[in-house]
């Protein structure tokens, strides 16, 4: 009967077959993991404690390659660097594909279309607001004296121009505090 564990240099080690069974991976995966930095005692034998720690760190993306803030440092081996960069590339390709799909579904609008529509809207808004003071003045004219009608119209025009100016400069209107 084959032994699955033995002591090597005072370290409990397990066989390659038992290691692959323990982590539920193929033996070829173990060879790849060794290239990525998984500890190996000698041919066909793996230190149990160190391998468990390494696999946990590998599968969760944390461990010795993280600094004290939890920020990931660059991997130590070329194979690990390649793997990390390939993973980043795949993530960016997936994000780009998601954006293309969103554009195709009409969830995004071209910038020039938005600018054109907003310019048309604000031009219409300005014309409407500028004419508003005249309309209000004509509505109140039968009830007040002509001089007061002109004052009301001018006050509404001045306030409208202030609002439009503030919206065009800062994008936000801040009303002045009323006098007491």
pLDDT at residue 155 is higher than 60: yes
pLDDT in tens, 103-154: 888 888 888 888 888 888 888 888 888 788 888 889 999 999 999 999 999 9
The sign of the torsion formed by the CA atoms of 108, 113, 115, 120 equals: negative
pLDDT in tens, 54-84: 888 888 776 544 455 544 555 556 666 777 7
Three-class SS state of 6: strand
- DSSP readout, 147-163? HHHHHHHHHHHHHHHHH
8-state DSSP, 63:
S
Identify which has the larger pLDDT, 107 or 27.
27
The per-residue pLDDT for 78 is 66
Name the least confident of 30-34, 67-71, 160-164. 67-71
Identify which has the larger pLDDT, 179 or 134.
134
Tell me if 13 sits within 8 A of 44, measured CB to CB.
no
The per-residue pLDDT for 180 is 47
The per-residue pLDDT for 39 is 92
Sheet architecture: strand order including 11-15: 5-8, 11-15, 45-47
pLDDT band at 6 (very low <50, low <70, confident <90, very high): confident
Beta strand 45-47 with 11-15 is antiparallel
């Amino acid at each position: 009967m084959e032994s699955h564990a033995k002591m090597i240099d005072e370290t409990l080690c397990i066989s390659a077959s038992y290691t692959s069974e323990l982590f539920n991976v193929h033996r070829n995966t173990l060879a790849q993991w060794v290239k990525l930095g998984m500890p190996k005692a000698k041919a066909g034998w793996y230190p149990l404690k160190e391998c468990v720690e390494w696999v946990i760190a590998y599968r969760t993306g944390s461990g010795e390659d993280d600094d004290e803030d939890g920020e990931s440092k660059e991997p130590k081996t070329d194979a690990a660097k390649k793997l990390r960069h390939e993973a980043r590339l795949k993530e960016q390709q997936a994000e780009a594909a998601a954006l293309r799909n969103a554009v195709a579904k009409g969830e995004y609008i071209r910038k020039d279309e938005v600018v054109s529509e907003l310019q048309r809207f604000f031009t219409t808004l300005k014309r409407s607001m500028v004419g508003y003071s005249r309309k209000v003045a004509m509505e109140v004219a039968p009830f007040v004296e002509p001089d007061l009608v002109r004052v009301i119209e001018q006050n509404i025009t001045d306030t409208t121009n202030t609002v439009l100016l503030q919206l065009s400069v800062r994008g936000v209107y801040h009303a002045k505090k009323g006098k007491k």
